[in-house]
Amino acid sequence: MDTSARGSLGGEPPQRARVLSARGMELGVAVGLLLLSLVVVADSIRIGRGWGADGPEAGFYPFYVALLLGAAALSILVREWRSRSEQSFVGASELRRVLWVLLPSMAYVGALSFVGIYLASALFLVGFMRMQGKYGWSRALPIGLGVPLALFFLFELAFGLPLPKGPLESWLGY
């Protein structure tokens, strides 16, 4: 979607507690894209980037696409290298807020293949509401238990789409 949309919204705050500079991030992403393009080029050469007996080989098309990606990344890299922008990518307090959502989400995704998506979701929802929203058990528990139950009825029973389950569900006979 559109990218200018978000940027114009917040308006960069004055540079307090800057953690990452926008320029550093730009350079990092451009280098990442450049490396990716090199990997694809190498792999395309490995599987054949030329003309086989039956037309273009498997690496023909990715090879040229990757060259284009590399060229674009290089142009971004050069442009950012020259720029003297002092803008911040993310400030300390913003980064903290993002990590407060991202880290629990990673734990949630890590846990759900072991304990099943229902239990993991319940723990995630209750934990998030307790820690982040400072809600009491009376608010956190109904939502934390109600949503996984609703998901269970909707997916497992109504639509017959099984979601990942863990020991708790097998103990209950599912």
What DSSP letter does each residue of 121-136 carry, written as one string? HHHHHHHHHHHTS---
Q: Helix, strand, or coil here: 147?
A: helix
Q: Helix, strand, or coil here: 56?
A: strand
Where in 2-61 is the site for another protein (CB under 8 A)?
A: 2-10, 22, 25-26, 29, 33, 36-37, 39-40, 43-44, 47, 51-52, 54-61
Choosing from 31, 38, 76, 145, the residue that interacts with another protein (CB under 8 A) is 76
What's the Cα-to-Cα distance from 166 to each of 104, 112, 134, rounded to whole Å?
19, 8, 29
59: tokens are 């690496």
Where in 133-172 is the site for another protein (CB under 8 A)?
A: 133, 135, 143, 147, 151, 154-155, 159-164
- Residue 172 CB, nearest distance to another protein (Å)? 19
H or E element: which one contains 95? helix 92-115
Query: How far is C-alpha 128 from the chain's CA centre?
Result: 19
Choosing from 132, 153, 168, 174, the residue that interacts with another protein (CB under 8 A) is 132
Where in 101-120 is the site for another protein (CB under 8 A)?
A: 101-102, 104-106, 108-109, 112-113, 117
81 binds another protein (CB under 8 A): no
H or E element: which one contains 89? strand 88-91
- Residue 81 CB, nearest distance to another protein (Å)? 13
- Residue 171 CB, nearest distance to another protein (Å)? 20
- Residue 111 CB, nearest distance to another protein (Å)? 11
